[in-house]
Amino acid sequence: MPRYMLIVGGADLDKRSGNPEFRPQMLERYMAWLRGLTERGQFVESHKLYDQTGRRLTIRGGEVIDGPFIESKDAVGGIFVIEAASLDEATDAARACPGLDLQNGWVEVRLIEVSRVAATP
């Protein structure tokens, strides 16, 4: 079955998730969404991306920049990989992502190629 990456982002991702009063509500909504994806056999994996840890390489001068990377409406908070029969089905799954309404965010749905090529040393 085709796999899709749901890229979750928005301006309020880290600001709201760091709020101790808001965090339990957000966690429960994300867990309920993930349970639904799992029950439908769509969930593959997910990863939280941290703004303060990592590096960005640019072609301009070969400069290496330590995070934070983006402090705007385009900030990416995490990714989810799901299986869906079509782009429309993957989009329907993404519509229920709590990041949309709880964090004033966005979700980008992208078809991904699953590569089985092993890296050689």
Please write the tens of the pLDDT for every residue from 27-61: 899 999 999 999 999 999 999 887 666 666 666 66
Among residues 7, 6, 40, 12, which one has the least CA distance to residue 26?
A: 12
Residue 68 in any domain: the answer is: no
In a domain, 66, yes or no: no
Q: CATH code at 11?
A: 3.30.70.1060
Q: Measuring CA to CA, how many Å separate 35 from each of 20, 41, 42, 50, 65?
A: 23, 10, 10, 23, 37
pLDDT tens column, 93-118:
999 999 888 877 889 999 998 776 66
Instruction: Give the number of residues written for the chain.
Output: 121
Q: Give the pTM.
A: 0.77
Domain tally, the chain: 1
